[in-house]
Amino acid sequence: MLTSNNYKIIEIKNKSFSENNAKKLLNLLFSKYNQEDIRFRYNNESVKIFLNSLNLSNFRSDIYGLIRNNNFGKNNIFSDILEQIEKIKSYGIQGNKRVYVGYNQERKVKNRKLKIEKRLKNFGIKDIFKKENEQVSKNYENKIICGDSEEVLKKLPNNCVDLIFTSPPYNFGLDYSSTEDDKKWDAYFEKLFKVFRECIRVTKYGGRIIVNIQPLFSDYIPSHHIISKFFLDKGMLWKGEILWEKNNYNCKYTAWGSWKSPSNPYLKYTWEFLEIFSKGSFKKEGYNKNIDISADEFKKWVYAKWSIAPERKMKEYRHPAMFPEALVARVLKLFSYKKDLVLDPFNGVGTTTAVAKYLNRRYLGIDISKEYCNKAQKRISERLF
């Protein structure tokens, strides 16, 4: 059937030459092309072109040849057909053809769910998690708690948190309050993974854990890969990775490594990573009435490179590595519903919890620094954005 679902339809008014001659020449032109790609319908008043895909270079040559061989002037129906097709600027490329219909749609896979399950099993990932979710006590809802995250999280029931978004200390040697940030790497990951084990346990079935991390490139420690492997080994599903482009171009002018030499050039990065994991299922259940992301936000944010300026209030809060409120807002609106419980086990001065409250999420923030917890509690009452 010739519909707009299968074809882009172009209608052109007939020019002043005889009907038989026009139909004959049109038939001659279109006979060179597959009818599934392009075809026409002719009547006394107009020509309709049904366009799916086309080798435009060949079509243009055929049009020019037909015009030249028949001594047509500039004002003719074949020139109009070519002009209208050349005006179409939205298309895909497949081989030597422009594809005008369906080029921006994902290919449909039959039995997608079953095939995903089969591939995950082949990869060694099994659904080992219980599906029954629990409710957290009021003692841990809308709270800022000062303490060791591992120990605090042990007091929470299984499957009670909807979303965890956190940025753990990177072990770069930064000056955190009450925290050493230059531990030996074995000790760093050992403690970090004890906290993350508890994070996995308390995350709901279908819930998400999102970790903002940057590798220590000078030491060649691929933290984001090491952390991702940990979660995969524990049965979590890798949902994706977002590049947080910070546009910090100062790094262009420092630490070249082996200057103008392949000996040991130092690679520079202006972005950090958000590693995203799901527990048991990629789909998170929730009520439509609790969705607060707009259509424009959704279309923009599912492209997994977010250009967001770094936090500019770190001196004000005396914290060396804050992420910006805009980053948290995107994560919460794209990956959680209103009234969900959001946890940050390395809450710092409370960006995650403050934004969670502003966006009508329940929150739980944990940090070992009393100073940071006091600042986080103060921010809870402040209006953001």
The per-residue pLDDT for range 123-154, each reduced to its tens digit, is 777 788 999 999 999 999 999 999 999 999 99
Give domain status of residue 335, yes or no. yes
Residue that terminates a domain, selected from 50, 83, 99: 99
Residue 27: which residues within 8 A CB-CB, separation 6 or more? none
46 and 142 co-located in one domain: no
Give domain status of residue 50, yes or no. yes
* Strands, E assignment, the chain: 8-13, 38-42, 46-51, 53-54, 92-94, 97-99, 143-146, 161-166, 203-213, 237-245, 271-278, 305-307, 341-344, 362-367
Rg of the chain taking only CA atoms, in angstroms: 29
Q: What is the CATH number of the domain that holds 369?
A: 3.40.50.150
340 and 196 co-located in one domain: yes
Q: Which of 338, 373, 335, 374 is nearest to 357 (CA)?
A: 338
228 and 362 co-located in one domain: yes
347 and 233 co-located in one domain: yes
166 and 66 co-located in one domain: no
The pLDDT mean for the chain works out to 86
Give domain status of residue 104, yes or no. no
pLDDT digits (tens, 9 = 90+) for 172-210: 655 555 555 567 888 889 999 999 999 999 999 999 999
Give domain status of residue 155, yes or no. yes
Residue 59: give the domain boundaries: 8-99
Number of domain units in the chain: 2
Q: Give residue 202's pLDDT.
A: 98
The Cα 155–Cα 137 span in angstroms is 10
Q: Give pTM, 2 decimals.
A: 0.70
87 and 189 co-located in one domain: no
pLDDT over 70 for what percent of the chain? Answer: 86
135 and 47 co-located in one domain: no
85 and 188 co-located in one domain: no
Give domain status of residue 115, yes or no. no
135 and 213 co-located in one domain: yes
151 and 272 co-located in one domain: yes
pLDDT digits (tens, 9 = 90+) for 94-107: 889 999 988 776 56
Give domain status of residue 112, yes or no. no
Q: Is residue 122 pLDDT above 80, yes or no?
A: no
CB-based contact 72:81 (threshold 8 Å): no
Residue that terminates a domain, selected from 99, 118, 145: 99
In what helix (H) or strand (E) does residue 107 lie, and over which residues does it extend?
A: none
Look at the alpha carbons of 214, 220, 221, 222 in this order and tell me if their dihedral is positive or negative.
positive
Give domain status of residue 281, yes or no. yes
Helix (H, G, I), strand (E, B) or coil at 268: coil
Give domain status of residue 118, yes or no. no
Residue that terminates a domain, selected from 56, 82, 99: 99
Q: Is residue 19 pLDDT above 60, yes or no?
A: no
Helix (H, G, I), strand (E, B) or coil at 330: helix
The Cα 149–Cα 146 span in angstroms is 9
Taking the CA atoms of residue 94, residue 100, residue 101 and residue 105 in that order, the dihedral angle to the nearest 10 degrees is 60
136 and 94 co-located in one domain: no
143 and 288 co-located in one domain: yes
